[in-house]
Structure 1
Amino acid sequence: MTLLALGLNHTTAPVAVRERLAFPGDRATEVLRTLLRLPGVQEAALLSTCNRTEVYCRTEHPDPKLLVNWLAETQQIEPEDFEPYLYVHTDAATIRHLFRVACGLDSMVLGEPQILGQIKDAYQAARQAGALGKILSRLFQHTFSAAKKVRTDTAIGASPISVAFAAVRLAQQIFDGLGEQTALLIGAGETIELTARHLHQQGIGRIIVANRTFDKAHALAAQFGGYAIALRELPAHLHEGDIVVSSTASQLPILGKGAIERAVKKRRHKPIFMVDLAVPRDIEPEVETLDDVYLYTVDDLQDIVEENRQARREAALEAEEIIDMEVEHFLAWLRAQGAGDTIRALRRQAEDHKQAALERARRALQRGASPEEALELLAHTLTQKLLHTPSVQLKQAGSHERHDLIAAARELFKLT
């Protein structure tokens, strides 16, 4: 039985290929059941995100072509259109790959935590579809444990590596907590949306979104329980912002030194943390000379991001060592399962021999044999049954010079 992983990701395939192999979540049950109908497939799980599609299975026939053809048929795409982008892992390599994916070591953003949640969703979908057995269930549980250990024992996720996240982390350092603070966000593009999301996750007290197009500001603010203002209203609300983050496409500064001076006075010199993520800049550089204003530009944050990226790379090396250890632990468990199956088979065989010997002894009693004779027959029959096959196998091992098998038998039965 083989553990097999087959898939493609952002490093091996362009988005045009990845999107054709993506599986919507509502198809998981149906798709997994067709996968289980493939010859030899005993267990299966499917991980599908914007950056990867991967099939994990426990199979008697570790032929990747079966999965390739299944993918082609299921997604109605010719094999030659995606096969060159695929990677295949078996057994220990499959275990290591899943652990690395769960820890964010195989992600576009090193150490990102979202993939672990996506793997948990894939696990739940496979469970609900009845596609998991003992081995894959244990593999996924061990994966979650390994990912938690990496997160706990390394700094893989501690350092922000996006300017939006870096801005929020800086705000947390300046203020004791964000729950009582108001964030004024200027713009409504991707960077501002990401900043709003991070602030919301960190429990920001209030969010105001200012944008030239009010409808866009309103749509973004509504996602996070905030409220929107038009850009022309900014001077009247600037003093409300404890945290001001700006990222627009304006070619001229939106906030000048005078406007911010007036806002600081209205705040009675309560500090303002300002982050200008725009290029060209939205906030006049002279603002940094003002007391009670902490101004950072995108270049300031890029330095932080690069330092943090290096910290994550160093943490990734530690994570790889943890993964090596966890892979060995899981392989040891797998080997123990193989021994367990053998032990159970041996016990079943011994039980069959016992029942046959007992039946023979009972018949002897029914024919008038004494209890002592019946016991002698039982002991002789059981001994012969238990030793016959091993004796034959050892004789054949001797004739074929299988000294390793003979040595193993001596060790197994503790023969002197």
Structure 2
Amino acid sequence: MTIGAPVRDATLPADQRGAGEAEVLAYVTHARSVSSRPREAFAVELAALGDGPGHVVVHTCHRVEVYVARRSFHGELPALPPGGVVLDDAAAVRHLISVGCGLDSAILGETQILHQLRQTIGERRAGRALDPVLDRLFQVALHAGRVAHGWFHGSPRSLADVALDRIEKTIGPLHGRRILVVGVGKMGRLAAFAAVRRGCSVVVTNRGPERAAQLAREVSGTTIPFGTDGAIGDLDGIVVAIGGEWPVGPRDTARLIELALPIVDLSSPPAVPGALWQGLGGCFTSVDDLADDGGGPGERIRRRLEDLITETGRDYCHWLRTRDAVPAIQAVVSTAEQRRRIEVDWLRRRLPGLSAEELGIVDQMSHRLVAAILHAPLAALNDDASGDVERAARRLFGI
């Protein structure tokens, strides 16, 4: 897919809308509109692009997104799955900042997204230099995210907490219940510790039995063999968080369906076999089902977040529009300073009787004079979105 016409967000302030050809684009697939399997297929195709300087891929449970700097991206993007959207310039900038602030997450204020963004940009920097347009965009999004997360109080929640909320809605209070956690990765660990905090008895299973035993020890739980039919035993709910399919034998499948046991699958794509989740019906919850399950923020905190996102986006968009004028600004200042020094040296030679104090006054006056003369041109250059002022300055100042 070639980089084509973007979708513009007409609700943005006029000074933040893209003008002309977009500098930065975001190709966004989210669980709200694109299901897990096409998202993951899109991620696989994006991985084939390698680590060029002109793009960054963000891949989480609910989203697969690629941010592109038009000037430095020379590849061919895979086709965007149905339901995906393309955002340009200010809309793309606002989206990533919203992601960093947690406003686009299933859990408002969850800190995992900040870690994921930080890890993403860190890995990209370690591999190859990144286009400054993207590097700065991710840095401002991370900074805004750190500010925003400082406003949230109480124990941080994760998607694992939302998974347990779903189970609780089905079976009632979780205290004293027996919860199976399938997988010992980051999300599996979050689920195990979240279950313990709610007073659950935790059972762990994993492809690697050693890691399952380690997590079970940490949460004072037990383990069961992975993929052994008939080994599941008595349970009240299951949280699945593994890569690849979870092998469930026919006896356990039939039993879980008969009991209508609530299962929440946090894997993407789903790890629970089709026969099981189809048989469970409404007792099965996929990661996509949790995309908007965490509840929205209160009006006060939402206003603060929106203001932070708008201010951060405005500053970045101003930098994006005017960054090409920076060399011209530096050249104008350098040329003026060089000329000032020449004229002051000429005055010293013409008036050798001036005292050190008098020369200091002359030097100070010359600095103030140059600064006053350059104030308006430099201000115009700093606000030059079209490049016209920069071109005029280069002609007028001979730079």
Q: Quickly say closer, same or farther: Cα 1:148–1:184, change in 2 above 3 A.
A: closer
Task: Map 1:265-284 to 2 at 5 A.
Answer: 276-277=261-262
Match of 2:370 in 1: 386
Matched, 1:55 2:67: yes
**Normalized per residue, which structure has more helix?**
1
1:9-408 matched pairs, under 5 angstroms: 9-10=29-30, 11=33, 14-15=38-39, 18-23=42-47, 27-28=50-51, 31-32=52-53, 35=54, 45-49=56-60, 51-55=63-67, 57=69, 64=70, 70-72=74-76, 81-82=79-80, 85-91=84-90, 93-106=91-104, 109=106, 111=108, 114-128=112-126, 129-131=128-130, 135-136=136-137, 138-149=139-150, 151-152=152-153, 160-162=161-163, 164-167=164-167, 175=175, 183=178, 185=180, 198-200=191-193, 202-203=195-196, 207-208=202-203, 221=212, 224-225=215-216, 226-228=222-224, 244-245=236-237, 248-250=252-254, 276-277=261-262, 312=295, 314-315=296-297, 320-331=302-313, 333=315, 348=334, 351-365=337-351, 370-371=353-354, 382=366, 386=370
1: CA distance, partners of 2:281 / 2:333: 69
Structure 2 CA distance for aligned equivalents of residues 17 and 146 of structure 1 = 34
Give 1:160 deviation, angstroms.
4.7
Query: Match for 2:99: what amino acid?
Result: V
Instruction: After TM superposition, give the deviation of residue 326 of structure 1 in Å.
Output: 0.6
Call closer, same or farther: CA 1:382–1:244 in 2, change over 3 Å. Answer: closer
CA gap 1:125/1:335 in 2 versus in 1, 3 angstroms? same
Letter in 2 for 1:322: R
> For each residue in 1:106-135, what CA deviation from the matched residue of structure 2 results, as whole angstroms up to 9, or x when unmatched?
45x465764333211122124434437584
Deviations 1:37-79 (A, max 9, x none): xxxxxxx74434573132154xxxxxx5x57x6341xx6x5xx
Q: Structure 2-normalised TM-score?
A: 0.50
Larger radius of gyration: 1
What is the CA–CA distance in structure 2 between the aligned matches of 1:115 and 1:382, rounded to whole Å? 52
Cα RMSD for the two superposed structures: 6.0
Aligned pairs, number: 299
Deviation at 1:97, TM superposition (A): 0.6
Task: Measure the CA separation in 1 of the matches of 2:376 and 2:182.
Answer: 78
Once the 2 structures are TM-superposed, how far is the Cα of residue 325 of structure 1 from its aligned partner? 0.9
1:413 aligns with none
Larger relative contact order (CA 8 Å, sep ≥ 6): 2
Cα distance in 2, alignment partners of residues 380 and 329 from structure 1: 37
Question: Contact 2:118 / 2:142 at 8 angstroms: preserved in 1?
Answer: no
Cα gap change, 1:55 to 1:249, in 2 (>3 Å): same
Which amino acid in 2 is paired with 1:52? V
Q: 1:24 to 1:56 in 2, by over 3 A?
A: same
Secondary structure of 2:74's aligned partner: helix
Distance in 2, Cα, partners of 1:16 & 1:301: 20
Contact 1:96 1:327 (C-alpha < 8 Å) held by counterparts: yes
Identity of aligned residues (%): 13
Gap change, CA 1:24 and 1:121, over 3 Å in 2: farther
Instruction: Tell me: CA distance 1:120–1:87, structure 2 relative to 1, closer, same or farther (3 Å).
Output: same
Preserved CA contact (<8 Å) 2:224 2:231: no
> What amino acid is the match of 1:329?
E
Question: Do the aligned partners of residues 106 and 252 (structure 1) sit closer, same or farther apart at CA in structure 2, a change above 3 Å counting?
Answer: closer
Change (3 A) 1:223 1:97: farther
Which stretches in structure 1 are left out of the alignment for 5+ residues?
A: 36-43, 58-63, 176-180, 256-274, 279-296, 394-416
Of the structure 1 ranges 325-334 and 245-254, higher mean CA displacement relative to structure 2 is found in 245-254
Instruction: Work out the CA distance in 2 between the residues paired with 1:161 and 1:392.
Output: 55
